[in-house]
Amino acid sequence: MFNKSSLKFLENLMNCSGPSGFELETAKLYREYLGGFADKVYTDVMGNTVGVINPEAEFKVMLAGHYDEIGFQAVYISDEGLIYFRANGGIDKLTIPGTEVEILTPAGRIPGIIGKKPIHLTKEKDRGTAVELEDAWIDIGAETKEEAAKIVAIGDPIAVRSNFKFMGKNRIMSKGMDDKIGAFVIAEALRELSKRKISIGVYAVGTVQEELGLRGATTSAFGISPNVGIAVDVGFSTDLPDINKKTLGEIKLGNGPELNRSADNNIVLVDKMMKLAAKHKIPYQLTCGHRASGGTDTATIQLSRGGVAAALISVPNRYMHTPVEICDLRDAENAVKIIVETVASLKSGDTFIPGID
């Protein structure tokens, strides 16, 4: 299903840098790609990018994958020319020291590394513990505050250095896999749906600021007012040592995307997706998620206006919220297939009322 053009888009998307609230580079690429097959493409005031098929249709399906990524923001420049920063999203502090980063400035990406006091100079009781962000800094090679200030401004967004690569035949590694892999999936689903004769409206939305509280999905869902919403995000792969399958279930890379059964997911819609997957022999894995509700764009789409029949598809992910997240392209491809078959089966008048439909 993923042709050379799709895989090149995937690589370019992963190599984009767009911390939450600063997704300009990613949005531009997304607009250009969706423009190749959507009837209409636009980016709204929040930075969400929307590709539409059949924009005049009354019955609407919203597909959502957030293309923002966790990162940092410059807050202070020291006399030594070091950049102090704050987190922008849920940072795993254990992975911070030694990380290569890029400060996103109007003049381009400024390379830097996150440094800290050497272990030799650290008290023994503090060794092996997470470094507080106020005790770390970014070194860009500047020798003075004045030199650094000519390059970097307070408030500049900071991203982990782009590092996309294949790991074997089917698996890919990148910073920001959460959730640019989801944004990729819905773009590919829209591309496939553009080849089919469908009468309903389909809105594929690359959402912003998910890592800061589902903000982009909140506004885009309100604006679109969909009848059905399907979000694609990453989920926890549990095929690693010391991950408790008793609380998270058994989820393996390459065994199919996760269909979620939690309060955020409409019972009728999820049942329909499961039946269609079985009919078309598309592999999937069932999960309850790691919480009863919340945490993804699905939650805010479901509660938009008078309520939306919502569902979450998760692409299994290893090492979430680190610079080296890993997913399997087979799971992404099968997520596309489930979305396409589900959307293609919908018709105007479907209501998805639990216990009645």
| CATH 3.40.640.10 for domain 4-69+176-345 | no
Radius of gyration for the chain, computed over Cα atoms and rounded to the nearest angstrom: 21
C-alpha 107/C-alpha 198 separation (Å) is 44
- Residue spans of the domains in the chain: they are 4-69+176-345, 71-160
As a whole number of angstroms, the distance between CA 61 and CA 352 comes to 13
Note the pLDDT of residue 241: 93
The pLDDT value given to residue 346: 97
Length of the chain in terms of residues written: 357
How far lies 241's CA from each of 232, 237, 302, in Å? Answer: 26, 11, 34
pLDDT at 125: 72
Phi first, then psi: give them for residue 299, nearest 5 degrees: -60, -45
CATH topology of domain 71-160: Elongation Factor Tu (Ef-tu); domain 3 (2.40.30)
* pLDDT score for 47: 97
The C-alpha atoms of residue 255 and residue 86 are separated, in whole angstroms, by 37
Residue by residue, what is the 3-state secondary structure of the chain? Answer: CCCHHHHHHHHHHHHCCCECCCCHHHHHHHHHHHCCCCCEEEECCCCCEEEEECCCCCCEEEEEEECCECEEEEEEECCCCCEEEEEECCCCHHHCCCCEEEEEECCEEEEEEEECCCHHHCCHHHCCCCCCHHHCEEECCCCCHHHHHCCCCCCCEEEECCCCEEECCCEEEECCHHHHHHHHHHHHHHHHHCCCCCCCEEEEEEECCHHHCCHHHHHHHHHHCCCEEEEEEEEECCCCCCCCHHHHCCCCCCCCCEEECCCCCCHHHHHHHHHHHHHCCCCCEEECCCCCCCCCHHHHHHCCCCCCEEEEEEEEEECCCCCCEEEEHHHHHHHHHHHHHHHHHCCCCCCCCCCCC
Residues annotated as catalytic are 210
Query: Could you tell me whether strands 285-287 and 258-260 are parallel, antiparallel, or unpaired per DSSP bridges?
Result: parallel
Q: How far is CA 166 from CA 12, 14, 241, 309, in A?
A: 13, 12, 23, 36
Q: How many angstroms separate the first and last alpha carbons of the chain?
A: 33
**Measured between alpha carbons, how far is 184 from 203 in angstroms, rounded to an integer?**
14
Q: Does 71-160 match 4-69+176-345 at the fold level?
A: no
pLDDT in tens, the chain (357 residues): 799 999 999 999 999 999 999 999 999 999 999 999 999 999 999 999 999 999 999 999 999 999 999 999 999 999 999 999 999 999 988 889 999 999 999 999 999 999 987 777 777 777 777 888 988 999 999 999 999 999 999 999 999 999 999 999 999 999 999 999 999 999 999 999 999 999 999 999 999 999 999 999 999 999 999 999 999 999 999 999 999 999 999 999 999 999 999 999 999 999 999 999 999 999 999 999 888 899 999 999 999 999 999 999 999 999 999 999 999 999 999 999 999 999 999 999 999 999 885
